[in-house]
Amino acid sequence: MTSTTQPPTLNIAIIGGGPAGLMAAEVLSQAGVQVELYDGMPSVGRKFLLAGVGGMNITHSEAFPAFLSRYGERTPNIAPLLRAFGANELCEWIHGLGIDTFVGSSGRVFPTDMKAAPLLRAWLKRLREAGVAIHTRHRWLGWNPDGSLRIASPEGEKSLKPDATLLALGGGSWSRLGSDGAWMLPLEQRGVALAPLQPSNCGFDVAAWSDLMISKFAGAPLKNIAIGLNDDVPRLGECVITATGLEGSLIYALSAAIREAINQHGHATIHLDLLPGRPVDKILQALNKPRGSRSMAKHLHSQLGIDGVKAALLRELTSADCFADMARLAQAIKALPVTLVKTRPLDEAISSAGGVTFEALDERLMLKQLPGVFCAGEMLDWEAPTGGYLLTACFASGRAAGSGMLGFLNG
């Protein structure tokens, strides 16, 4: 009579219940692995839900080469993740949850109802049905001397010894939603190579606005403009005047380059094109038309449609001599210099740069210093603009880490 022994049940700990952690949990649970997911907040997916306020931009429809270029210097590291699970695969996955999508006029992809909550509910239902156990209010504190995980829970501190661990703890922005960067210290203590966390997709401060700019125009949108930095082709879009400087989608798109210029030189000078649809010679021609007894403010309004916040910026950032010289004024309208001196605080940023460097990871996203410990999501050292690029790479890295963990467990 022969006896058979059952293979041991493998157990995985995933720390962090954002898109990366949940996607890894799906990959592992579908392969029959028992997954225990821990999140420090009262519920999972909190930053994901916040990203859906005003419209859940899940990914982008642009061609893959252009899509890939959005990841800057980390493009070579992100490329294999997106080749395995890019925008098309993400959309198919969403459709598998019963959620339809559509492509907006800007090329951005949204769920049909524009909301994140129904998608997250359907996803969590599928994960729980697959056996994923989700433990909320369980915060990772690092490791015990014996290598076990330290988890603070409502019942007190626990020690866990899973067969493999995924850290998917987010970046350093929006700490109230759980992404506070506290994981940096225990990883640093274990010798993991880290890049400092920095704001990304963030606003910037000028040295100082005048009282008039702050009192009358803080919060005012700057629409139909272009912004150039260095010798790059100016980008079209819009941004917002704040009490301390500038923020908004056009600033966010340039935030990595602006931040690095400030890091290197202590400041960055951008140039605003207030009339991107008009060449400078046509602007000069309009300015040179007789204005009679009209004020310069009325002349700018009648000839060029410049008034309100655009007119205020011209006054704020040029001298009186410039308004007496139409050629100089025309040049200022096309390239108004704004000197930015620092980023807004990290916790105000939409996302963060820095974190676990790709050089600290192998091709499976496992830490070289800590075999069996994997990392994914925004805690990795990459950044991308808003527009669906952030979420897509978080999903893709979670899927890659889940597959990497399966390979490790089977290895």
DSSP state, 72? G
Give residue-wise pLDDT tens across range 147-171: 999 999 999 999 999 999 999 999 9
Alpha-carbon torsion (150, 160, 187, 386), positive or negative:
negative
User: Residue 157's pLDDT is what?
Assistant: 96
User: Residue 8's pLDDT is what?
Assistant: 59
User: Residue 10's pLDDT is what?
Assistant: 81
Written as six digits, the tokens of 407 are: 């390979």
Rounded distance between C-alpha atoms, residue 326 and residue 324, angstroms: 6
User: Residue 291's pLDDT is what?
Assistant: 84
Backbone φ/ψ region at 224: left (φ over 0), alpha (ψ -120 to 50), beta: left
User: Residue 3's pLDDT is what?
Assistant: 44
Helices 75-84 and 389-410: crossing angle in degrees, nearest 10, is: 70
User: Residue 174's pLDDT is what?
Assistant: 83
Q: Which fold has domain 11-199+349-410?
A: FAD/NAD(P)-binding domain (3.50.50)
Rounded distance between C-alpha atoms, residue 11 and residue 129, angstroms: 17
Identity of the amino acid at 45 = G
Q: How far is CA 225 from CA 236, 272, 335, in A?
A: 6, 7, 11
**Are the C-beta atoms of residues 332 and 322 closer than 8 Å to each other?**
yes
**Are the C-beta atoms of residues 382 and 393 closer than 8 Å to each other?**
yes
Rounded distance between C-alpha atoms, residue 186 and residue 331, angstroms: 53
Cα distance from N-terminal residue to C-terminal residue, the chain: 31
Q: How far is CA 208 from CA 227, 242, 317, in A?
A: 20, 11, 11
Rounded distance between C-alpha atoms, residue 40 and residue 140, angstroms: 7
Written as six digits, the tokens of 90 are: 């993400």
Rounded distance between C-alpha atoms, residue 18 and residue 401, angstroms: 14
**Are the C-beta atoms of residues 309 and 292 closer than 8 Å to each other?**
no
The single residue listed with the structure tokens 């963030």 is: 202
Domains of the chain, by residue range, sit at 11-199+349-410, 204-343
Please give the helix or strand (H or E) that residue 283 lies within, else none: helix 280-287
pLDDT string in tens for the chain (411-residue length): 444 444 557 899 999 999 999 999 999 999 999 999 999 999 999 999 988 777 899 999 999 999 999 999 999 999 999 999 999 999 999 999 999 999 998 899 999 999 999 999 999 999 999 999 999 999 999 999 999 999 999 999 999 999 999 999 999 988 888 889 999 999 999 999 999 999 999 999 999 999 999 999 999 999 999 999 988 889 999 999 999 999 999 999 999 999 999 999 999 999 999 999 999 999 999 999 998 888 889 999 999 999 999 999 999 999 989 998 999 999 999 999 999 999 999 999 999 999 999 999 999 999 999 999 999 999 999 999 999 999 999 999 999 999 999 999 998
**Are the C-beta atoms of residues 82 and 67 closer than 8 Å to each other?**
yes
Model confidence, pTM: 0.91
DSSP per-residue letters across 289-330: S--TT--HHHHHHHHH---HHHHHHHHHHS-HHHHT-HHHHH
User: Residue 411's pLDDT is what?
Assistant: 80
User: Residue 51's pLDDT is what?
Assistant: 81
User: Residue 184's pLDDT is what?
Assistant: 96
